[in-house]
């Protein structure tokens, strides 16, 4: 008997027909004598509609109450699946985040899980129940409902799997697994059979939304075996596991594209000690994370400073930067929202040279201008104009031979 945590995303629970298909799969695992905990997302599009509704109610909806509203999407699907399973004669029980023992901090909209205690679920499993948990939500120390950020049901599932010491956390989605790049952008993308936590984490950070970043951090920290697979077929998907020796032989495992960043440039900032601190400290205080930073020194004793933030943080970041620009005597602030960050990722980069050159040559061959570059041990990222994003992904995918891997 195995303990399986199965998470189903928005398209997998999009309507009653799809929830019935989920019930079939859950039922099959249970009939095979496995213990099953199901974690559900809201029906696809529902979280977006709830956000839109809140924005009709107020221009800047109160963040605490917005979380109460958003959590209803997952409450609905969890209840519906439990209703279906019970109508089929199975013992099933739904749990909201707080009932599942998920305690978070107080950051409404992107709360972090501080602690998880699945004793209610464990007791119900031992009594022979199928447990159905509303993903994406928890509660803070005062009992207020919180949500875990977009895509947060992945993190609910991995956290529950780690707390219950489940044999596997299955992430059921609308693609067959983790691909070498987004299969919706590149038709020659290939399914990866096995990927390390580290590479998966980079892919998630750099824009492959198939798994939420925090779910991969959690899986890596607590060694949770994650199986990403399709809810539409029975194919084996991708196993996300610890790094093994054979993995370094693959130089580039995947290509990602992130369209969710925007660029801010301060022109002609005085080139003096302390200026960067003056610019970036107020951003940090406002909890805005800055991703890439480039500083170009000119000969006349001033510099241009460019950085990127997520589009969600852009308006607030711009407001703060314009204020600071006046204080430090910068000439002007210019912005670019239509940018994309394309990245190549692979453990093999640790031990192979020439990846950057191949990347730059491939982009040059399509006349794509690189605006910013950043690197880590296992990835290289370039910022380019958004209109070239898909072309860049396809070009890099074939330049690194990913069209051919089996």
User: Would you tell me which residues interact with ligand ADP (CB under 6 A)?
Assistant: 9-12, 41, 151, 173-175, 178-179, 181-184, 208-210, 254
The verdict on 138 binding Mg ion (CB under 5 A) reads: no
- Within 3-32, the residues that bind Mg ion by CB under 5 A are 9
Q: Of 41-49, 105-113, 266-274, 372-380, which segment contacts ligand ASP by CB under 6 A? A: 41-49
Enter the DSSP assignment of 10: G
CA distance 322 to 265: 10
Minimum distance from residue 154 beta carbon to Mg ion (Å):
6
Of these partners, Mg ion, ligand ADP, ligand ASP, none, which one is at the site of residue 101 (CB under 5 to 8 Å by kind)?
none
Q: Between residues 42 and 355, which has the closer beta carbon with respect to Mg ion?
A: 42
Minimum distance from residue 189 beta carbon to ligand ASP (Å):
22
331 touches 380 (CB < 8 A): no
Of these partners, Mg ion, ligand ASP, ligand ADP, none, which one is at the site of residue 395 (CB under 5 to 8 Å by kind)?
none
402 touches 252 (CB < 8 A): yes
Minimum distance from residue 174 beta carbon to Mg ion (Å):
9
User: Within 10 A of 355 (CB to CB), how many other CB atoms are there?
Assistant: 19
Minimum distance from residue 1 beta carbon to ligand ADP (Å):
27
User: Within 10 A of 197 (CB to CB), how many other CB atoms are there?
Assistant: 20
CA distance 135 to 9: 9
Q: Of 146-154, 191-199, 277-285, 342-350, which segment contacts ligand ASP by CB under 6 A? A: 146-154
Q: Which residue is nearest to ligand ADP (CB)?
A: 9
Spatial CB neighbours of 240, under 8 Å, sequence gap ≥ 6? 178, 195, 196, 197, 200, 211, 216, 219, 225, 226, 227, 228
- Within 49-108, the residues that bind ligand ASP by CB under 6 A are 73
The verdict on 135 binding Mg ion (CB under 5 A) reads: no
Q: Between residues 189 and 266, which has the closer beta carbon with respect to ligand ADP?
A: 189
Spatial CB neighbours of 9, under 8 Å, sequence gap ≥ 6? 41, 44, 153, 171, 172, 173, 174, 231
- Within 140-159, the residues that bind Mg ion by CB under 5 A are 151
Minimum distance from residue 47 beta carbon to Mg ion (Å):
10
| DSSP secondary structure string for all residues of 313-343 | HHHHHHHHHHHHHHHHT-SEEEEE-SEEEEE
Minimum distance from residue 264 beta carbon to ligand ADP (Å):
26
- Residue 172 tokens read as 């059921």
392 touches 384 (CB < 8 A): yes
Enter the DSSP assignment of 289: P
Sole binder of ligand ASP in the list 135, 138, 254, 346 (CB under 6 A)? 135
402 touches 186 (CB < 8 A): no
The verdict on 150 binding ligand ASP (CB under 6 A) reads: yes
Sole binder of ligand ASP in the list 6, 27, 35, 47 (CB under 6 A)? 47
105: phi then psi, degrees, rounded to nearest 5: -80, -170
Number of residues that bind ligand ASP (CB under 6 A): 13
The verdict on 152 binding ligand ASP (CB under 6 A) reads: yes
Q: Quickly list H helices, 256-388.
A: 275-285, 311-328, 355-365
CA distance 172 to 84: 19
Sites of contact with ligand ASP (CB under 6 A)? 9-10, 41-42, 47, 73, 135-136, 150-154
Which stretches of the chain bind Mg ion, using CB under 5 A? 9, 151
């Amino acid at each position: 008997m195995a303990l399986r945590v199965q998470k189903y995303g928005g398209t997998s629970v999009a309507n009653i027909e799809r929830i019935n298909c989920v019930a079939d799969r859950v039922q099959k695992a249970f009939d095979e004598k496995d213990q099953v905990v199901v974690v559900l997302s809201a029906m696809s599009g529902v979280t977006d509609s709830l956000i839109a509704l809140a924005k009709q109610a107020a221009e800047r909806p109160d963040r605490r109450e917005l979380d109460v509203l958003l959590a209803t999407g997952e409450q609905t699907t969890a209840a519906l699946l439990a209703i279906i399973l019970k109508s089929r004669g199975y013992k099933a029980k739904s749990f909201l985040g707080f009932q599942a023992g998920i305690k978070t901090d107080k950051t409404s909209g992107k709360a972090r899980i501080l602690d998880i205690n699945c004793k209610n679920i464990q007791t119900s499993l031992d009594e022979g129940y199928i447990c159905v948990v509303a993903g994406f939500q928890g509660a803070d120390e005062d009992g207020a409902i919180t949500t875990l950020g977009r895509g947060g049901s992945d993190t609910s599932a991995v956290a529950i799997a780690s707390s219950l010491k489940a044999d596997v956390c299955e992430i059921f989605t609308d693609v067959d697994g983790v691909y070498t790049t987004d299969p919706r952008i590149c038709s020659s993308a290939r399914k990866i059979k096995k990927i390390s936590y580290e590479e998966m984490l980079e892919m998630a950070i750099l824009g492959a939304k198939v798994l939420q970043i925090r779910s991969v951090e959690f899986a890596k920290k607590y060694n949770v075996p994650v199986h990403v697979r399709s809810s539409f077929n029975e194919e084996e998907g991708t196993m996300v596991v610890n790094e093994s020796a054979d993995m370094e032989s693959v130089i580039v495992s995947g290509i990602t594209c992130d369209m969710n960043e925007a660029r801010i440039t301060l022109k002609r900032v005085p080139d003096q000690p302390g200026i960067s601190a003056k610019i970036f400290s107020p951003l940090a205080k406002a909890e805005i994370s800055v991703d890439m930073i480039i500083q170009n020194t000119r000969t006349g004793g001033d510099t241009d400073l460019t950085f990127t933030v997520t589009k969600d943080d852009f308006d607030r970041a711009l407001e703060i930067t314009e204020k600071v620009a006046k204080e430090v005597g910068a000439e002007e602030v210019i912005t670019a929202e239509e940018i994309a960050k394309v990245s190549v990722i692979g453990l093999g980069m640790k031990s192979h040279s020439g990846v950057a050159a191949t990347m730059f040559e491939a982009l040059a061959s399509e006349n794509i201008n690189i605006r910013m570059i950043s690197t880590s041990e296992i990835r290289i990222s370039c910022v380019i104009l958004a209109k070239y994003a898909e072309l860049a992904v396809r070009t890099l995918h074939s330049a690194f031979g990913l069209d051919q891997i089996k």
